[in-house]
């Protein structure tokens, strides 16, 4: 009962990979190091380019500023181009500076808010040099205890700070605003949900859109509902894909709940967001114990598999079943698509494009991991935060 996706449909998939996935990361208990971990943004890009070379799915790399800071941005841009990739979203960072202990854009002190706004203006300068379109804002702002600060006044300050930043982005730029229900703040977070992000984006203007990080919801949240809603409002700017078992685990997308990923991309396609450059698909993951480049390859392949299953959905038959209120048939059609083994189709698709049929195997056989382990000695390995 499933249909077969066309090569043109499959070819619309593009996934942005995060520079920080290639650096070391961990939990508050321990950060484990891995031989060959990049020591600077140039080496991170080299690793990211391997993902694209083997899968053809990851043509851009998101930067996190100032984790990714170089003296010569032109050189970094050229380096990316030479490797066959491009620099993507610039993520701001106001969560690792002592001044931001009590918040950044929503801080009670105008001086600190100014510093946080200035950081974003610096990010806009970086975007000019990198040719990036999107400024991604995620804030750790919030409080830990009832009464600590005024929830309401913080919203007002936040709105004012965001407007100052938005006023400085170019016509071709966008500001994408990410929400997260808790952590690091534990009592209230200033942008905890899609609705709060949405109202700020609405106030800012057309070039402000919501970022949906799949790990940023309470357990049991119906994420595909949020996808459907934001798409119909024209305000879904980007995804941060990852998966979670407990909190914001940043595990490999599709690892914890492949069915949820399928349902999310079904809504993405139904709402016209698939293949639309205005809805950027980005990974936001950390590989704490597994190898990083293979972890990223697995991730983009998981997204590709979910998309291929979703494209297998017989939407005509589904429309009829829905019109007839045939609950069981509609659900069966949905499950047929999910149960379709798309792996042979994707193998064929890769072969037709001159890509390795099994990207993971081809990468592991290439000797790249041994090479970087031997070459990248000395210096300091990049980590989550450097």
Q: Which chain residues interact with ligand LRH by CB under 6 A?
A: 91, 138, 178, 180, 213, 240, 248, 284
Nearest residue (CB) to Mn ion, 38 versus 215: 215
Nearest-angstrom CA–CA distance, 355 and 377: 31
Neighbours of 55 (CB within 10 A): 24
Give me the least distance between CB of 109 and ligand LRH, in Å please: 23
Which of the listed partners (Mn ion, ligand LRH, none) does 91 bind, with a CB threshold of 5 to 8 Å by partner kind? ligand LRH
Which of the listed partners (Mn ion, ligand LRH, none) does 16 bind, with a CB threshold of 5 to 8 Å by partner kind? none
Nearest residue (CB) to ligand LRH, 60 versus 340: 60
Give me the least distance between CB of 276 and ligand LRH, in Å please: 21
Query: What is the Rg, in whole angstroms, of the alpha carbon atoms belonging to the chain?
Result: 21
- The owner of tokens 């030479």 is 82
Give me the least distance between CB of 139 and ligand LRH, in Å please: 9
248 touching Mn ion, by CB under 5 A: yes
240 touching Mn ion, by CB under 5 A: yes
Question: Which residues touch 12 (CB under 8 Å, ≥6 apart)?
Answer: 274, 275
Give me the least distance between CB of 324 and ligand LRH, in Å please: 42
16 touching Mn ion, by CB under 5 A: no
Answer yes or no: are the C-beta atoms of 22 and 30 closer than 8 Å.
no
Nearest residue (CB) to Mn ion, 20 versus 363: 20
Show the tokens assigned to 313.
Answer: 């959905």
3-state helix, strand, coil in the chain (%, to 5): 45, 15, 40
Nearest residue (CB) to ligand LRH, 178 versus 267: 178
Binding to Mn ion in span 163-182, by CB under 5 A? none
Beta strands in the chain (DSSP E): 16-18, 60-64, 86-91, 134-137, 142-143, 174-178, 188-189, 208-213, 236-241, 280-283
Give me the least distance between CB of 214 and Mn ion, in Å please: 9
Q: Which residue is nearest to ligand LRH (CB)?
A: 138
Task: Choose the binding region for Mn ion from 50-58, 65-73, 213-221, 309-317 (rule: CB under 5 A).
Answer: 213-221
The two beta strands, 188-189 and 142-143, are: antiparallel
Answer yes or no: are the C-beta atoms of 237 and 176 closer than 8 Å.
yes
Nearest-angstrom CA–CA distance, 264 and 310: 9
Maximum distance among all alpha carbons in the chain? 67
Show the tokens assigned to 135.
Answer: 């400024």
Give me the least distance between CB of 213 and ligand LRH, in Å please: 5
Give me the least distance between CB of 236 and ligand LRH, in Å please: 16
Q: What is the pattern of x (binds Mn ion, CB under 5 A) and - over residues 80-119?
A: ----------------------------------------
**Binding residue (CB under 5 A) for Mn ion from 50, 149, 190, 213:** 213
Show the tokens assigned to 219.
Answer: 């357990």
Size of the site for Mn ion (CB under 5 A): 4
- Under the rule (CB under 5 A), what is the footprint of Mn ion? 213, 240, 248, 284
């Amino acid at each position: 009962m499933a249909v077969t996706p066309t090569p043109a449909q499959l070819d619309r998939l593009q996934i942005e990979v995060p520079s920080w996935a290639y650096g070391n990361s961990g939990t508050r208990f321990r950060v484990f190091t891995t031989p060959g971990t990049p020591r600077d943004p140039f080496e991170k890009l080299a690793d990211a380019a391997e993902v694209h070379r083997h899968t053809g799915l990851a043509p851009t790399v998101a930067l996190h500023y100032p984790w990714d800071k170089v003296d010569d941005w032109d050189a970094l841009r050229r380096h990316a181009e030479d490797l066959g990739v491009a620099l993507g979203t610039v993520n701001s960072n106001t969560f690792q500076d002592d001044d931001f202990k009590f918040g950044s854009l929503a801080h009670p002190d105008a001086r600190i808010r100014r510093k946080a706004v200035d950081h974003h203006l610096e990010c806009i300068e970086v975007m000019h040099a990198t040719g990036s379109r999107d400024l991604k804002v995620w804030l750790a702002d919030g409080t830990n205890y009832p009464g600590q600060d005024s929830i309401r006044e913080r919203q007002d300050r936040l709105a004012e700070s965001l407007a100052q930043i938005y006023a400085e982005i170019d016509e071709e730029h966008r500001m994408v605003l990410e929400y997260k229900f808790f952590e690091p703040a534990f009592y209230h977070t200033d942008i905890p949900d899609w609705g709060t992000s949405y109202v700020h984006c609405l106030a800012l203007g057309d070039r402000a859109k919501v970022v949906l990080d799949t790990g940023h919801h309470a357990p049991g949240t119906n994420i595909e509902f949020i996808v459907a809603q934001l798409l119909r409002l024209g305000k879904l700017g980007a995804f941060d894909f990852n998966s979670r078992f407990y909190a914001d685990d940043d595990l490999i997308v599709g690892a914890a709940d492949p069915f949820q990923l399928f349902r999310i991309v079904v809504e993405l396609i139904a709402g016209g967001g698939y293949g639309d450059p205005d809805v950027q698909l980005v990974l936001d993951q950390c590989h704490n114990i597994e190898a990083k480049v293979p972890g990223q390859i697995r991730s983009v392949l998981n997204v590709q598999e979910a998309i291929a299953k979703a494209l297998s959905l017989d939407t005509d038959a589904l429309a009829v079943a829905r019109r007839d209120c045939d609950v069981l048939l509609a659900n069966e059609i949905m499950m047929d698509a999910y149960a379709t083994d798309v792996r042979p189709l994707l193998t064929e698709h890769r072969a037709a494009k001159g890509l390795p049929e099994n990207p993971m195997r081809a990468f592991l056989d290439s000797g790249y991991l041994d090479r970087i382990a031997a070459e990248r000695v000395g210096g300091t390995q990049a980590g989550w935060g450097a």
